[in-house]
Structure 1
Amino acid sequence: MQVHNVTADAETFTCNAYLAEGDRTVLVDAGSMPGVVDAIADHAEEVDAVVLTHQHGDHVAELDTVLDAYDPELLCYDDHPRRTRRISDGDSLRIGDEEFEAVYSPGHADDHLAFVSETTIFSGDVVVYNDGAFEDGSFGRTDMAGQSREREIESIREILDRMPEGVESMYAGHGDEFHGDVREVVERALERAERREPKYPDE
């Protein structure tokens, strides 16, 4: 499965939006980068579906533009006027060449989902490889209204419980992608979240 970060060249704040090519060409999050449609077109002529990890602005600001350009299905947990399928915890969906399980993972966002296959995780913002706060294992911020560190911790534990041992690729909503022992990265993120220390102490 080929995965491209189609917002990698963004000059404004955005999430990482990943285009997974394969049996089913799927965009995981749409991002907020103007021109994302052109970046997608560099890799694919069609997009079968857009799957959302959650609906924070940096993940969905360009969603309508993508939907208008490619007319894909829209799959997400929370309500959206253009949603074609609701994804719930435990649901199965095909991304690229692999079958993924949706893992409901609130804390950073009430509608957050991560997607896990035998080899890969699209982790959204619940857990990331690096983000400026921590290297080699970090977690989504929980210091804003409606967020919860306790729920975030529970979600990371749930991901660890349900993530197969062979997962070796992590595509997170922010920071770099990671290839290697993903479980170790997620375990370090959990340890840091469990300290209950501020993630960004200077803010």
Structure 2
Amino acid sequence: MEVHNVTADAATFTCNAYLALGERTTLVDAGAMDGVVDVIREHTDSLDAVVLTHQHGDHVEQLDAVLDAFDAPLYAYGEHSRRDHAIDDGDDLLVGDETCEVVYTPGHAEDHVSLVSEKSLFSGDVVVHDDGAFDDGSFGRTDYPGQSRERLIESIHTLLERMGDGVEHMYSGHGSVFHGDVREVVERALERAERREPKYPDE
């Protein structure tokens, strides 16, 4: 499956927004980068779906612009005024060329979901490969109101239970795309989260 991070060149803070090309061209998260619509159009003239991992501002700031430009249906777990399809834990979604299972993964956000196929993981912010706090296995922050480290830990356990051993591509909301043994990266993120230490001790 061909996947592009369409916010990779952003000059301001944003999530990674991923364009998965294929049988069902899908944008996972819209990001907060001005001009993201133009970058998407460099790769495709149409979108079959937009899927949200969660609705924090850095993931949805450009959502209206994307939906207006491409008239694509919106799939989201949490309620949204422009949601066309509610998704729930255990649902299957075709993303690009891969069938992904929706895994409900709260903790960083109450409406957070991850998408898992036989080969790929779109993890949003629940786990990332590297983000400035940890390299090679980090986890979403849980120090803001409404967040919970305990729920995040439970979510990472659930993610590991639902992931097969063949997952080798990790597309996370922040940091770098990872290709390799994704399970090992997620397990390291879990170990660090379970220490209950602050993710950013200087803050």
Per the alignment, residue 161 of structure 2 pairs with: 161
Per the alignment, residue 40 of structure 1 pairs with: 40
CA–CA distance in structure 2, aligned partners of residues 156 and 98 of structure 1: 22
What is the CA deviation profile of residues 42-67 of structure 1, one whole-angstrom value per residue up to 9, with x for unaligned ones?
10110111000000000000000000
Amino acid across the alignment from 1:162:
R
Q: What secondary structure does 2:132 align onto?
A: coil
Q: What secondary structure does 1:108 align onto?
A: coil
Per the alignment, residue 24 of structure 2 pairs with: 24
Q: TM-score, normalised by structure 2?
A: 1.00
Amino acid across the alignment from 1:123:
S
Q: 1:1-203 alignment to 2 at 5 Å?
A: 1-203=1-203
Q: Deviating runs (4+, > 4 A) in structure 1? A: none
What is the CA deviation profile of residues 57-97 of structure 1, one whole-angstrom value per residue up to 9, with x for unaligned ones?
00000000000000001000011111010000000000000
CA–CA distance in structure 2, aligned partners of residues 93 and 181 of structure 1: 23
Unaligned runs of 5+ in 2: none
Q: What secondary structure does 2:107 align onto?
A: coil
Aligned-pair distance for 1:113?
0.2
Amino acid across the alignment from 1:33:
M
CA–CA distance in structure 1, aligned partners of residues 83 and 107 of structure 2: 23
Unaligned runs of 5+ in 1: none
Aligned-pair distance for 1:24?
0.3
What is the CA deviation profile of residues 100-157 of structure 1, one whole-angstrom value per residue up to 9, with x for unaligned ones?
0000000000000000000000000000000000000000000000000000000000
Q: What secondary structure does 2:136 align onto?
A: coil
CA–CA distance in structure 2, aligned partners of residues 76 and 10 of structure 1: 24
The number of equivalent residue pairs is 203
Q: What secondary structure does 1:184 align onto?
A: helix
Aligned-pair distance for 1:8?
0.1
Q: TM-score, normalised by structure 1?
A: 1.00
Amino acid across the alignment from 1:61:
E
What is the CA deviation profile of residues 5-25 of structure 1, one whole-angstrom value per residue up to 9, with x for unaligned ones?
000000000000000000000
Amino acid across the alignment from 2:62:
E
- Identity among equivalent positions (%) equals 71
Q: What secondary structure does 2:187 align onto?
A: helix
